[in-house]
Amino acid sequence: MRRFFLYLKSHWLISTIALLVILAVVGIVSSRRNKGGSAILTDTVKKQDLIQTVLATGQVTSTTDLSLSFKGSGIVARINVAVGQQAHAGDILANLDQRDQLAGLTSARGSWAAAQANYQKVLEGASSEEVQVSQVALDNAEKSLADTIQQQDILVANAKKAFLNSALAAVPKDSNSGVAPVISGAYTSEQTGSYEISFYNSNGGVSYVYKGLEEGVATVNTGSILPLGTRGLYIQFTTTPSVGDVWLVEIPNTRATNYVANLNSYNIALQTRQAAITAAQNAVTAAQANLDLKKAQARPADVAAAQAQILSAQAQVQAASAALENTVIRAPADGTITSVDVKVGEQASPAKEAIVLQDVNNLHMEANVSEANVAQVAVGQETTFTFDALGPDREFKGAVQAIDPASTVVSGVVNYKVTASVEKLPEIKPGMTANMTILTASKAGALAVPQRAVLAHDGKKFVRVIDDAKKKTYHEVEVSTGMEADGGLVEITSGLSEGQGIVTFINSK
């Protein structure tokens, strides 16, 4: 014992900390088991009817709710309706000035009449004078084609000749020691390639042999201009060439400074020839077709073409009629005129609301429900409404009819439009603001406790059950919950029994 007290004396700091920890644990346990009577709020586990609702604010909307406008711009000439007046589908409600559209319709009808007359002419056939004129046109087109081919062939040949003769010169094939021979003349063939010239000693002195585009042998005669093959080229040696040197004459000479320019000119000449001949051939084809058409007597193809012209003219009449129709506003359905926002004589603009048509006898409710609650809403659920205009004491019934699949962002919040039916009463009018309550779930006789009585920790849920009603001691019981209902209630599916006392709130102060 003496040693124990000596240990405590020498380790007083450790002993003090241990004592404080023990006192704290005892205090916590005591606190969780028992708090002062006035510091704990309690309730009783009860069986009761639970409901779950979603609240939203919306507006009364007509089944037929149409904002009508003119499709074109113009001066308003007539308004045929007033606010409150009934309209039937097809009625003309207003129209713009129509003089330009009427003129266009008359012109289109004239084109239609001309197409019909041409159709009759095709059936009767062309006159002999028309056939003769078409024959002359064909003859001229064919002569023009022949002249074009001849002219373009000459131009292409000249361009190719210039391209192949681009500064022809002898260039060394390897490391030559002698002076390059001079190449002159004009290459007359269209074959491309090269002449390879090499030298050797002969009885007459130095001779040369060439091969490639042509083959041949000749003796060098310094200063003389000698033929290089049979295609218009000549070669001249200013000095006696060295035996062993090899010279190349390339056709065309791709190293020449004017090679690219001559090549481009040749390609352009080819393209120009093709375009010119094609144009001339098209002219011949068109002239021949026109002559054949004149000679033909009501062939099926001609009749079909004339009929096609009639159809085209009819389309123009329809387009003009549509333009005329765009100057009027027609009622697309039966309903009541609830707004006229246009005056005779003013300039109307396309797509600007002019007249509003609504079916005030068939109304429904539209409201935006946030994405946090829309998953609870389903078609067919019961709804109740109160209207700001009719007071909070009057309640009306309805049901969810539709839920938009696409969201609508309102003030940065994602919402979904919900449509609900509403009672047919004369005091309910389009545009009224309504407070909608949607009954999303209900349970009769469910075991329930206040939501704040449920605690969550360690991944589980608990309720503090009263052990002693007077001392208000309690212990925690693990529970399972179900529906979260209105009024701050939550369903208990397991863990509690009806009538048990529970802690709902502990004042920690």
Per residue in 406-416, pLDDT (tens digit) is 988 888 889 99
Amino acid at 60: V
CATH class in words for 65-96+327-357: mainly beta
Mean pLDDT of the chain: 85
- Cα(487)–Cα(324) distance, rounded to whole angstroms? 62
- Cα(402)–Cα(141) distance, rounded to whole angstroms? 72
Residues 6+ apart with CB under 8 A from 207: 199, 200, 201, 217, 218, 219, 220
Structure tokens at 173: 């094939």
pLDDT digits (tens, 9 = 90+) for 291-321: 887 777 777 887 888 889 999 999 999 998 9
Structure tokens at 263: 């090549």
Measuring CA to CA, which residue among 74, 126, 65 is closest to residue 95? 74
| Whole-number pLDDT of residue 267 | 93
Q: 15 pLDDT exceeds 60?
A: no
CB of 247 within 8 A of CB of 176? yes
Per the listing, tokens 């109307």 go with 348
Q: 468 pLDDT exceeds 90?
A: no
pLDDT digits (tens, 9 = 90+) for 471-495: 878 999 999 999 988 889 999 999 9
- pLDDT confidence band for 195 (50 / 70 / 90): very high
- Cα(71)–Cα(74) distance, rounded to whole angstroms? 10
| Whole-number pLDDT of residue 16 | 43
Residue count of the chain: 509
Structure tokens at 427: 């005091």
Measuring CA to CA, which residue among 393, 441, 400 is closest to residue 58? 400
- pLDDT confidence band for 210 (50 / 70 / 90): very high
Q: Is 46 exposed, middle or buried, given 0-12, 13-18 or 19+ CB atoms closer than 10 A?
A: middle
- Cα(18)–Cα(150) distance, rounded to whole angstroms? 121
Question: Which residues partner with 506 through β-bridges?
Answer: 40
Domain 51-61+362-506 has CATH 3.30.70.260: no
Measuring CA to CA, which residue among 485, 489, 491, 492 is closest to residue 53? 485
| Whole-number pLDDT of residue 126 | 66
- Cα(488)–Cα(509) distance, rounded to whole angstroms? 24
